[in-house]
Amino acid sequence: MMKPWKAVKRLLPLFVGLSLLLSACGREDLSVLRPQGPVAEGQLGLIKLAITIMVAVMLIVFGIAAYVWIKFRRKPGQNEIPKQVEGNFKLEVIWTAIPLVLVIILGVFTVQKVFAFGENYSSDKNAVKVKVTSHLFWWEFSYPDYGVTTAQDLIIPTGKKIALELKTADVLHSFWVPSLAGKTDTNTDGTINNAWFEASKEGVYLGKCAELCGPSHAFMEFKVKAVNQESFDNWVAAMKAPAVLPEDPAVAEVFKTQCLSCHAVGDQGLPVGPNLTGIGSREAIAGILLNAEGEGRPENGKPIRDNLVDWLKDPQGVKPGNKMPAPKEDLGLTDAEIEAIADYLADYKLTY
C-alpha cells in the first residue's frame, strides 16, 4: 500500500494545478469577486449566502458522521449485529424540515434579486439608455437619447443606472462584465433582453462575450469605461461633432471610398462595421489589441498606431473569421496608404 505522505506528494501538483485553473490563472479583471457596482455586489451577496449555508451544512453533517464512525465502531471481540433502528419519526421530521427551511431562505433572497436585477429601466428619466448589438466579433453601443453610436468601449457616467436593451445582429452571444453584472444573452429570435447595471467608481471594466459564437469568440472583448457626468457629457458632444477626415486629399479619398462603405466617422459613412469616431481615444483596437495609452491594462499594451497597423495589415491574423476585408489583399490599399490611415485614426482623439 502507498504510504500516506507519498499519496500527498503525488496529489499535490494536481491540487495546485486545479486551484490555478479554477482561479482562471489570476485574471483579476474578470473576477466576480471584486464587484464595482450594486448589481454585481448583490450577486456576490447571493454567492456568499449560498456558500455560507452550504459550508455550515457540510460541517454539521460531516461532524455528525465522524462522531458516529468513531463512537459506534466495532469493538474487538464484538461479533453480534448491533440493534437495528429505522423509521425514527422525530429524526425524519427534523432532517426534512431543516433543508426545506434552508432552501426557502435561499429561494426568497434569490427571487428578490432576480426581480430587482431584471427590472426594465429603459423608460426611467434618470437612467442612461444604451442599445447593445452583438456582432461576430464586436460590440455596438448606441445611445438613442443622445443620438450617438460607438463600438467596443461602452462609455457610461458613474452613479447612474445604465438601462441596456440587448440584441444580436447574427448568432447567439452573451454580454458579460463580471465586475458590474452577470451575463445577459443576445437572442437570435429577434426578442430584446433588458438588463441594467451601475458603476460606483470611475474606471475601466473588462467585458467579454460569454457564449461560444465562432472562431474569434475568445477575442470578443470590450470595455466599460465609467467616467464622471461632466466627462460623459463632453464625450457625447465630441461624438456629435462633424467628422474629421484625413488631411491629405488622396488619403481622404481612399478612406472615403474603401472604408466609409462599412464604417462611420461623425456624420459620414455607413454603420456596417464598428463606428470609428474618436477611435484614437479607445482602450483597444478591435476590442482585443490593447492600447498603451488606454487605462485598461497599459502594461500589456502597444502604442495605438502600432495596433492599428497590425489590424489593418492582417485583420484575419488578429481575429480569425472576422468580417472585415483585408485592406491590402481585398481592398487594394498600398502599405503607405495603410500607414497614412493608421496615423490619421491614431490621431482622431476625443477630449472628454
Which parts of this chain interact with ligand HEC (CB under 6 A)? 137-138, 151-152, 258-259, 261-263, 272-274, 276, 279, 285-287, 308, 311-312, 319, 322-325, 327, 331, 333, 341, 345
C-beta of 219: minimal distance to Cu ion in Å? 9
Contact 269, 229 (CB under 8 A): no
Phi, psi of 142 (to 5 degrees): -125, 145
Ranges within 179-238 binding Cu ion (CB under 5 A): 209, 213, 220
127 binds, among ligand HEC, Cu ion, none (CB under 5 to 8 A by kind): none
- According to DSSP, the residues that pair with 203 across neighbouring strands are 226
173 binds, among ligand HEC, Cu ion, none (CB under 5 to 8 A by kind): Cu ion
Contact 319, 137 (CB under 8 A): yes
Query: What DSSP element (H or E) covers 153?
Result: strand 153-157
User: Which residue number, 230 or 253, has a Cβ lying nearer to ligand HEC?
Assistant: 253
209 binds, among Cu ion, ligand HEC, none (CB under 5 to 8 A by kind): Cu ion
C-beta of 142: minimal distance to ligand HEC in Å? 14
C-beta of 346: minimal distance to ligand HEC in Å? 10
What amino acid is encoded at 306 in this protein? D
State the sign of the Cα–Cα–Cα–Cα dihedral 315, 316, 317, 319.
positive
Contact 180, 153 (CB under 8 A): no
148-151 and 153-157 strand pairing = unpaired
327 binds, among Cu ion, ligand HEC, none (CB under 5 to 8 A by kind): ligand HEC
145, exposed or middle or buried, with CB in 10 Å at 0-12, 13-18, 19+?
Answer: exposed
C-beta of 95: minimal distance to ligand HEC in Å? 55
User: Which residue number, 39 or 304, has a Cβ lying nearer to ligand HEC?
Assistant: 304
Residues in the chain: 352
Size of the site for Cu ion (CB under 5 A): 4
Residues that bind Cu ion (CB under 5 A): 173, 209, 213, 220
